[in-house]
Structure 1
Amino acid sequence: MTDYDVDLFVIGAGSGGVRAARIAAGYGARVLIAEEFRVGGTCVIRGCVPKKLMVYASRFVDHFEDAAGFGWDVPQPSFHWSKLVAAKEKEISRLSAIYRTNLDKAGVTILDSRAEIEDAHTVLLKADERRVTAGMILVATGGTPVLEPDVPGRDLAITSNEIFDLPEMPKRLLIVGGGYIAVEFASIFARLGSKVTLVQRGDNVLRGFDEDMRNGVRDALIHAGVDVKSGFLPTAIEKRGDALHVSLTKGTHIEVDQVLTATGRRPHTLGLGLEKAGVIVDDIGAIKVDAYSKTNVDSIYAVGDVTNRLALTPVAIREGHAFADTVFGHKSTAVNHTNVATAVFTTPELGTIGLSEMEARAIYDCVDVYLASFRPLKATLSGRQEKTVMKILVDGQTDKVLGVHILGEDAGEMAQILGIAITVGATKADFDATMAVHPTSAEELVTMRVRTARYERAPQGLDEAPGAAD
């Protein structure tokens, strides 16, 4: 690769691109990385990190209310949106600076510029129209929010990119969508004091997640004061004075201060120049890659959300690391995208690993279901009428645990630890043999002995029917 200006040119300094750049540099590669916005990418700047900070802020209202049950006399609290936004900005700026420092220490050169591909080995820097040649090009530009539906006044809506930096917190907020971004912001703003309406095309939130967990999140949103309207979408948005007048399907209307469109994200490949190099993308612009993140062009790779394989920050990091190991460390490394733990940071939060019940029953001949719902210890004194729900799905023939789903406090933390057990192929007997930690909510995972349902695939293509519970 010595005939080129650098060995590796990375487009996009988000989680995946930064990891790839650092590891490649550690192998001795000469690396340039270009970023047109801020180093850190979606997760650090306008995604996971600022969102989680706002989740923490939103939960204090519950903490203040709960304190009385434990003997505390708490004065009437007040919330200041501008203080939260300023504190959030300070933290993400600190993290972005750390990313820069780590790249510098690794010997990676950072270019604050948009970069576009001109051919299989050439990148154009838009800041100064300079061209750089590279032995390898890695595309790690992530995803971008989709503004849907396409209706009159759509440009008046905002996306998750803008929601973190609003000059004022909306007193009335309409959220369009039913995915994890939509339900997380609905939960956040309802607890911070906004009147939140969530409209979605489907009949329930969180399509693709386990049905019991979907129902639990939906019910928790409603309990928090969110007006959940299924089967509704905006048909027009109009500015009227300081408010937005939104027309909805079925002839209904709503007046709000902000409309947040959270209907999904798409790979950020528009105008990147991929077609000049002959890189193949799919119908939504996702870059097609093989198990080692290589495109159909030998010198161009892609990792993270831009490939639309599994749009999660830890996945992008793992893919970036595997790319560097494969190409510059000469250790062929493919990423396993199965059994990836994830969390939805509503309140209560959802943690999940493995198959949902519907997925398990579609694949396995016999599925055992263990389901528990209980009031956590903290709620007994706080008086909060909340439930923790835990679900374990087991292959009825081999006893292997196929999936675990938790709705409750610290569910995301539990899902991370469970990810280890599921990855190594733990069985229900392994769970049962594990000593409980008492008193915790997590102990329920190793004390659930009573099977609540068994689903066996009927012979000759007949529909499955639930068996009797133990």
Structure 2
Amino acid sequence: MAERAKVVVVGGGPGGYEAALVAAQLGADVTVVDADGLGGAAVLTDVVPSKTLIATAEVMTLVGESAELGVRFPGSAGGERDAHGAVAVDLGVVNRRVKALAQAQSDDIHRRLESEGVRIVRGRGRLDGPHRVVVDGVDGTPGTTAFDAEAVLVAVGAHPRELPDARPDGERILTWKQLYDLDHLPERLVVVGSGVTGAEFASAYDALGADVVLVSSRDRVLPGEDPDAAEVIEAVFRRRGMEVLSRSRAQAVKRTGDGVVVTLADGRTVEGSHCLVAVGSIPNTGGMGLGGAGVTLSDSGHVQVDRVSRTTSRGVYAAGDCTGVLALASVAAMQGRIAMWHSLGDAVAPLDLRTVSANVFTAPEIATVGWNAAQIEAGEVRARTVKLPLATNARAKMQGIHDGFVKLFCGARSQEILGGVVVAPRASELIFPVTLAVEHRLTVDDVAQAFTVYPSLSGSIAEAARRLHASD
């Protein structure tokens, strides 16, 4: 019997555990080295916890905007914002649920890996050359062990970036990993950073009932998103009472007893009870011996990989946030799978970021896939665009949805759907038909001629496609 190929995966996040499952399926001897808990940050401190918190915020948003649907609460006078005073959130209960669900998901991953015959080693892994992983014990786990492997996957993730003069204390100055230890809703939360993480938490805590100030160093919130979509979200934030400080760079955050003071670069100050610092992340690649193993890192510390997850060292692959390719759990998982398919000789297609759908979990959500408006305006591709406001959709009217739109891009000559943007409640679900269209190179007529339910929000996708039909 041929000897089984040995694979060692360093890191148990989506890139790591999905790679381990593929390698086990292909008959390899698989070891996963993990220091922080299976599922990684995505499951334990980032994606799963934040979206669980946002699930509660979604309910509060629905309640808060239910007056026009005829919903009244006991003792209310029938005003538009009665619900905000009639319903409250117990943040301690919410956060206990958040952490319990995250741990349950991590436990499920652990059981799945064990059931597939994957060896799980608790410890911190580092490379001793390209084909050897040394594991140092953590949390009192004694000793050091080593594993030889034909293929090594580095999937160690990233951690929150800190500002030099805004050191988190876990009580008043917080990273997104520390928010779930709060027992009470912040009276006034200052969010520094208006990227995806900052915008999502600002939206959520505003819905939960906190007074929120969003500090943005850019001209608008969500500078990396579709400009029309970001404009909608910022308008909604302001309408709901959030204070948005544009072109305002945070210089320092200091604790003042029971509160914080955020000092801006122009000398202004913003006071609050708590501050969330959401200014990006740093890859966890330090001290791993990657350079000695022949693995090239970028200036930012990210592992450089190609489209099949190979590093510059033969037999060493990398996946996830430590590569800086695209910080999404779905991309990390695909990078990990591709690495194993490639290293173990299975059929593989290189990673294609053009077909990746992404979502910003604000209220409303922003979902995107394919080519975007900036690329089209820059002339990278010739395309036609249509934007259809949801306010004209019958189902949206019934549900009291006033904000949002469907935007589609199609090839100027091919008529193929090249990309799209959906801004709506649960846009993360509505983007799927557009993703299918992009993935399978469907034309606007393919989409336009498919039946949709009436009334439905998805009907606006077919309607947008019909408006892109060209007689020539």
SS of equivalent to 1:51: helix
TM-score in terms of structure 2 length: 0.89
- In the TM superposition, 1:67-216 aligns within 5 A as 67-75=66-74, 76-127=86-137, 128-148=143-163, 150-151=164-165, 157-216=173-232
Match of 1:142, as an amino acid?
G
Q: Is the 8 A contact 1:187 1:224 kept in 2?
A: no
Q: Is the 8 A contact 1:364 1:395 kept in 2?
A: no
Matched residues in 2 for 1:55 and 1:173: separation? 16
How many equivalent pairs are there? Answer: 449
- In the TM superposition, 1:309-320 aligns within 5 A as 309-320=325-336
Matched residues in 2 for 1:177 and 1:291: separation? 30
For residues 337-361 of structure 1, give each alpha carbon's deviation from its aligned partner in whole angstroms, at most 9, with x where no partner exists.
2221111000011111112222113
CA-based RMSD: 2.4
For residues 7-51 of structure 1, give each alpha carbon's deviation from its aligned partner in whole angstroms, at most 9, with x where no partner exists.
111110011100111221222211111111111112111121111
Match of 1:198, as an amino acid?
L
Q: Is the 8 A contact 1:64 1:74 kept in 2?
A: no
Distance 1:390 1:332, change over 3 A: closer
2:425 to 409, 413, 416: 409
Matched residues in 1 for 2:336 and 2:433: separation? 23
What are the ranges of 5 or more consecutive residues in structure 2 without an aligned counterpart? 75-85, 138-142
Which residue in the other structure is 2:60 paired with? 61
**Structure 1 residues 180-189 or 113-122, which shifts more?**
113-122
SS of equivalent to 1:266: strand
Q: Is the 8 A contact 1:247 1:253 kept in 2?
A: yes
Matched residues in 1 for 2:193 and 2:229: separation? 17
Residue 277, structure 1, aligned to residue 296, structure 2: no
SS of equivalent to 1:369: strand
Q: Is the 8 A contact 2:390 2:460 kept in 1?
A: no
Matched residues in 2 for 1:201 and 1:27: separation? 48
Match of 1:53, as an amino acid?
T
Q: Is the 8 A contact 1:341 1:354 kept in 2?
A: yes
Distance 1:291 1:233, change over 3 A: same
1:251 CA drift (Å): 2.0
Match of 2:357, as an amino acid?
A
What are the ranges of 5 or more consecutive residues in structure 1 without an aligned counterpart? 455-470
- In the TM superposition, 1:1-400 aligns within 5 A as 7-75=6-74, 76-127=86-137, 128-148=143-163, 150-151=164-165, 157-363=173-379, 366-375=382-391, 377=394, 380=397, 386-400=402-416
Matched residues in 2 for 1:365 and 1:126: separation? 49
For residues 426-446 of structure 1, give each alpha carbon's deviation from its aligned partner in whole angstroms, at most 9, with x where no partner exists.
222222222232101110111
Distance 1:113 1:364, change over 3 A: closer
For residues 315-355 of structure 1, give each alpha carbon's deviation from its aligned partner in whole angstroms, at most 9, with x where no partner exists.
11112112222222443442222221111000011111112
1:74 CA drift (Å): 3.4
Matched residues in 1 for 2:24 and 2:465: separation? 51
How much identity, in percent, do the aligned residues show? Answer: 27
**Structure 1 residues 176-185 or 423-432, which shifts more?**
423-432
Matched residues in 2 for 1:209 and 1:283: separation? 25
Q: Is the 8 A contact 2:447 2:465 kept in 1?
A: no
SS of equivalent to 2:263: strand
